[in-house]
Structure 1
Amino acid sequence: MSTEKLRVAAIDLGTNSFHMVIVEESEAKGIVEIDRVKDMICIGRGSISTKKLDKGAMEAGVAALRNFLVLATQHEVPVRNIIAFATSAIREADNRQEFIDMVRRETGLEVKIISGKEEAQFIYYGVRNAVTLRDKPDLLFDIGGGSVEFIIADKGKAHLLESRKIGVARMMERFLTTDPVSEHERKLLEQFFASEIFDSAEKARELGVTRAIASSGTAENIARMIRAGKDAEGGDALNQTGFTRQEFENFYKSVISMDRAARRKLTGLDEKRVDLIVPGLILINVIFREFNLREVVISDSALREGMVVHYIASMRGRKGSCPLDIRRQSVIELAHRCNWHEPHSRQVARLSLMLFDQLKPLHGLKPHYRELLEYAALLHNIGVFISISAHHKHSQYIIMNSDLRGFAPTEIDIIGNVARYHRKQPPTEKHPLYSQLKPSHRRAVDVLSGILRVANGLERGHRQNVQSITMRDEPKRIVINALARYEPDIELWAVSGHKEWLEEVLGKPIVIEASLQ
């Protein structure tokens, strides 16, 4: 298998918009996004009823693709690694071949028209690359302009792959003539949606689905608007955030009766979705009801990201079309982007996990926190990429603003805080990013940062000296014995100044002993 860097550009020719994502993949760093661009072409404008792509829209599409190719070339993507897939509006148009030929003639780009089921498959790959799927099946759905894809999947496989012709542009053209939408048209659209998704909902009920993962601009816009209404200070990242059924219903009731002018004023709504958001809201309302969902989680990866991971897997000769552990891959990618000192960081992580395991009777944290400790340890020093001075604070900032894939926002907050407190002042409620955590998470940060400080001390010489750790819990003290390859003077000196916080958290003095192999 080749280990050279591979750059790929994936273009998604959707009904409403054309998107391109450019990535670089290598064995060391995994998949790293280089750039992305979107152009709201509306290639499907008017084609739902006429079955023909508008000439002006085709010309605009070609112009957009020409610009995409220039950008890909500037990012040094080989022409052979630029892939383009066309979806609902183009695949259903009678003059689709005319457009495909036009694109090939004027840009040299070969566009592949994919089926609805293929589209669902690629969306599944893309979502798996951004959101951690569970043992229990979830509903995945992607709202496009011409079609909506429904996937029921768990972390092992997809149980259902379907595509329905109920995209927001199609539904707006077919059903909506009033603004604000009349009750009559709303009910007609609700009934149509319910009939189209009946079979998928039946399958979901059989499998006990209660959560959905949405991967589309429509769902992202709704999530952003709901967030703006409850948290004006929230960040831009949406991946693995979302909204509950109650949050959505409250928002839906307040917005569905608005006219165009009122919708324009909504914080978070894309100007070009002012009209399309109406059928989108109605559809998600029906999805919540028919699938009996508790919440919708957002995935910022979908079709084009799925195209990328599938293409790279085929180029590399790998089985499967997505990483087995997106959380770990995302952490390692970030570490490499920040030029981490890998041997040191991996040693600190290894020692941290040993301490976590042996101190478990005393700290009582659930196994889930063990994983977060490992990632904080791997990333604790990446702030040096910005500056050695106060690098612990820089590490926290980078972690909390890097959109780590597969993590919930609270998990990223914990990882960032633990890395922040690997040195210098221990956690204090005077620090806003720590004080805003709920009490159980502050307790976890206290324990994990205490462990990380000790592990970091035991690797002070950056020489991977300590081979293993054993712990004795005595009535009045904790004794930690470090087995070393060489005389561990520097490590013992360092840890003596790092253990005070863990002693306070665990309520016992800690004695560090050492022995040689």
Structure 2
Amino acid sequence: MIREHMRIAAIDLGTNSFHMVIVEESSGKGIVEIDRVKDMICIGRGSISTKMLNEDAMDAGVATLKRFVLLASRHGVSIDNIIAFATSAIREARNKDIFLQKVLDETGLHVKVISGPEEAEFIYYGVRNAVTFTEKPDLLFDIGGGSVEFIIADNCHVHLLESRKIGVARMLERFITTDPISKHELNLLDQFFCAELHSSVEKARELKVHRAIASSGTAQNIARMIRFLTGRDSEVVLNNSSFSRKEFQKLYRQVIGLSASERSKLTGLDEKRVDLIIPGLILIDVIFRLFKLREIVISDYALREGMVIHHLAQHGPGSSSTTSCQVDIRRESIMELAYRCHWDKAHSSHIAMLCLQLFDELQPLHDFDATDRELLEYAALLHNIGTFISISAHHKHSQYIIINGELRGFTPLEITIIANIARYHRKSSPSEKHELYAQLKPRHRKTVDMLAAILRIANGLDRGHRCAISSIHAEIDREQINFCLESRDEPDIEIWAACRMKSLLESVTGRTIAFRFLGGQ
């Protein structure tokens, strides 16, 4: 039976860590994350060579899963709506059935052991709902403890699904005995990675892949360390952020020769990845080199999010997210955030429509492109969500919510631009005294200035929330812009409000602005 609301939890029983995400899907609002938790119990420690899970690791795993089930129940998720998948270490263990039965007996969880290709497929479902694909194929890779999954995909097709037994815990156990790592062991590991990646590299070369998308804790931790090293720690989100080969090499050279005790003091390095980071760095160095990549983009979504998306596509309300072509995750993410903040849909949608008309009419005065137009629309849709916190200073609250709203499919820069446009839809104009505006480069400030100026006019033109203005035409000369308005009613209040909001647009265009009512439809 299809329900209007569904809450589910997805648990990923990985080699290094167990993760759980809890989400709710409802018609209209899409998928909203409720909670997430992880525990780095390292169930695969020592089992990669012996193919046996040890008793202590199994007991720790069961204890963690008990806590996960309890947390899920407190969020209103029944045991029947918890999906749990086990990956590399557990699927290879000869005593996995003993562990899985113990989990079932003590928690009620039915854990499904998935194959490497299945794991790659679920990772693909997750990543493509966090990062926007294009017509050009990208390499996706997910660095686990026991295995690394490689996917090559574009916005409509999957060209490769592979799982290789080269996870960081497996490589640490198999190759690394020295601290710091010796030159000999580093070369052995480098050569092993090169041999394992041969078929993926050949496929990527055939498809002309130049960009990679990385998921998993190892990749995220490396991205975070690069952020601190390059002074970009002020960025809030990792998702859709990227690092170049040059930035990575700087981190690699700094870290690879350090001992474990020296690495433990590094800013941004997770204390439980002090040893695992070494094979992780070597693998990413090989990936950069062999695939001839320009950059690596980070995805916050991976296996467990893919589990959720696939499950909801089969059992939940709303439409499927696992169809052949990628959904518009940017718009979907914007709408999810808007609904979470109980937005005024009619007003905000009307403002967005007016903004797009104004953008198009003013095209002779600016050189902005389709992406800028898209960011303006999204800022307009979200400009008033700050009222969810308080009416007073809601433009500032809107900025804060957008920055921290975990929007998917956007780069950190794009999120900052959207947040700034929304922040300046009322009250003060953009100012370098404001931190989030000041951190932008001059060309991006120019974008915010123009798009915020357009949003201010559009906001004024729906001052009474009547959605009265149906269309706008701009008559532009060297000294003036006349906006000719069509409306179903006399737009006196709208023109009065727009006149009060026009100074920023007058400043950025160097023209005076006037409004004229042409009549109704």
Aligned to 1:167: 167
Deviation at 1:378, TM superposition (A): 0.6
Which blocks of at least 5 consecutive residues in structure 2 are unaligned? none
Distance 2:452 2:478 in 1: 24
- Summarize deviations over 1:486-514 as a string: whole Å, max 9, x none: 12111111111111211221121222111
Partner SS for 2:378 = helix
- Summarize deviations over 1:366-409 as a string: whole Å, max 9, x none: 11100000000011111111221211111111111222111001
- Summarize deviations over 1:415-470 as a string: whole Å, max 9, x none: 01111111111112232221221121111111101110110011000011111112
Aligned to 1:40: 40
Aligned to 1:300: 300
For the pair 1:497 / 2:500, whether they are aligned, the reply is: yes
- Summarize deviations over 1:192-245 as a string: whole Å, max 9, x none: 000000110111111111111110101111111111112164244211112110
| Contact 2:236–2:404 (CA under 8 A) maintained in structure 1 | no
Task: After superposing the two structures, state which structure 1 stretch, 473-482 or 27-36, moved more.
Answer: 473-482
Matched AA of 1:321: T
Deviation at 1:99, TM superposition (A): 1.2
Aligned to 1:127: 127
Matched AA of 1:460: R
Aligned to 1:383: 386
Matched AA of 2:227: R
- Summarize deviations over 1:296-331 as a string: whole Å, max 9, x none: 111111000000011001113744427611111111
Partner SS for 2:418 = helix
Which blocks of at least 5 consecutive residues in structure 1 are unaligned? none
Partner SS for 1:479 = strand
For the pair 1:4 / 2:4, whether they are aligned, the reply is: yes
- Summarize deviations over 1:144-176 as a string: whole Å, max 9, x none: 000000011111121111000000111111111
Matched AA of 1:79: I
For the pair 1:437 / 2:440, whether they are aligned, the reply is: yes
Distance 1:378 1:310 in 2: 28
Matched residues, percent identical?
64
Distance 2:176 2:366 in 1: 59
| 1:193-232 equivalences in 2 (<5 Å) | 193-231=193-231
Aligned to 1:516: 520
Aligned to 1:397: 400
Tell me how large the CA RMSD over aligned residues is: 1.4
Partner SS for 1:444 = helix
For the pair 1:348 / 2:360, whether they are aligned, the reply is: no
| 1:281-320 equivalences in 2 (<5 Å) | 281-316=281-316, 318-320=319-321
Partner SS for 2:181 = coil
| Contact 2:478–2:511 (CA under 8 A) maintained in structure 1 | no
- Summarize deviations over 1:330-359 as a string: whole Å, max 9, x none: 111111121111111111001101111111
Aligned to 2:476: 473
| Structure 1 segments (4+ residues) deviating >3 Å | 316-320
Matched AA of 1:298: I
Distance 2:295 2:504 in 1: 39
Matched AA of 2:514: V
Distance 2:57 2:189 in 1: 27
Task: After superposing the two structures, state which structure 1 stretch, 334-343 or 117-126, moved more.
Answer: 334-343
| 1:58-457 equivalences in 2 (<5 Å) | 58-231=58-231, 233-316=233-316, 318-321=319-322, 324-457=327-460
Partner SS for 1:9 = strand
Matched AA of 1:98: I
- Summarize deviations over 1:44-87 as a string: whole Å, max 9, x none: 11111111111111111111111100000000012221000000
Q: With the length of structure 1 as denominator, give the TM-score of the two structures.
A: 0.98
| Contact 2:121–2:161 (CA under 8 A) maintained in structure 1 | yes
Matched AA of 1:36: R
Partner SS for 2:481 = strand
Aligned to 2:14: 14
- Summarize deviations over 1:103-158 as a string: whole Å, max 9, x none: 11111110001110000000001101111112211111000000000011111121
Flag the 1:396–1:21 CA change in 2: closer, same or farther, 3 A.
Answer: same
Distance 2:261 2:292 in 1: 32
Matched AA of 1:130: A
Number of residue pairs matched by the alignment: 517
Partner SS for 1:130 = coil
